Amino acid sequence: MKTSLLTLLAFALTAANGLAQDRPSRPAPDNAATAAATAVAATNAPANIKLNFQDTPIDSVLEYLAKEAGFTVIKEADISGNIKAFSAKPLTREQAYDVITTLLYGKGYATIRNGDIITVVSASDAKRRPIPIKQGANPNMIPPNDTMVTQIIPVRYANAQALVQNLQPLMDEDASISANESSNALLITDTQVNIRRMVQIVQALDTSISGITAMRVYPLRNASATEAASVLNQVFNGQTSSTAGRGSPSSSGRSSMADMISRMRSRMGR
């Protein structure tokens, strides 16, 4: 009886493993598609929220945002201060959120958003919180608001570590930037509007560097490819050193070129 039960259990486990292997895996979420869908939904959302804050306490503003826009607001910082804001036309919930998060950031507070849940923290403490992680190098897919996120930016041609040195002086003191050498990617923790600007700069630098180098193949009829490559390296190295020293091209480069031309003519019977 015990042997039969063990046999039955082994058969059940084997069948379960087979079903698990045959079952198609769930595809990974597409960040770009999700962002695009969110943007479309925000565009089509009704505009029915008016802002009319005249030195209104921030606590009252957050209560208004929760009530009118349907957000759940969690305050993890000592909130103080007042806000001034007025909208002549009604805003959508996303527009109202963007305006209020910008005003909060100006008062030293950052927002961390997960769906409809908004956590308000001090701006200096935000980068140490478990904030959402985004990925991509398309600035058009990054909303221009002051929500704190960590953005992973893949770099194609430029050196990510060198870009850190270029971008660091342009960033806020509450932001952070680092480079991952193995994947040649940047990691930036900041507001999305600031990250959007950084990505635009990275995109411009990465594109300009990619256009500098190009490879072409030139077939040679009479000269030796190895000899021609050696001579051209001498010529270009001579031009580089002369440019740095503001002198004339090196004599070795000129003589090597002349020797090669002479040998080519002799091979051609001239």
Q: Is residue 45 part of a domain?
A: yes
> Do both 113 and 137 map to the same domain?
no
Domain termination residue (choose one: 105, 125, 145): 125
Interstrand relation of 52-57 and 82-86 (parallel, antiparallel or unpaired)? antiparallel
Q: What is the pTM of this model?
A: 0.61
Task: Using DSSP, state whether 237 is helix, strand or coil.
Answer: helix
Q: How many domains does the chain have?
A: 3
Domain, as residue range, for 153: 133-210
The residue type of 216 is R
Q: Is residue 21 part of a domain?
A: no
pLDDT digit string, tens, across residues 220-243: 777 777 887 887 777 666 554 444
Q: Is residue 215 part of a domain?
A: no
> Do both 106 and 150 map to the same domain?
no
Residue 195: exposure state from Cβ atoms within 10 A (0-12, 13-18, ≥19): buried
pLDDT digit string, tens, across residues 84-103: 999 999 999 999 999 999 99
> Do both 171 and 192 map to the same domain?
yes
pLDDT of residue 156: 92
Q: Is residue 23 part of a domain?
A: no
Q: Is residue 27 part of a domain?
A: no
- In angstroms, the CA 195 to CA 176 distance is 11
- In angstroms, the CA 107 to CA 124 distance is 12
- In angstroms, the CA 115 to CA 73 distance is 11
Count of C-beta atoms within a 10 Å radius of residue 177: 21
Residue 69: exposure state from Cβ atoms within 10 A (0-12, 13-18, ≥19): buried
* CA angle (27, 29, 30) in 5-degree steps: 115
The secondary structure of 62-90 as a DSSP string is HHHHHHHH--EEEE-S----EEEEE-SS-
The pLDDT mean for the chain works out to 78
> Do both 229 and 246 map to the same domain?
yes
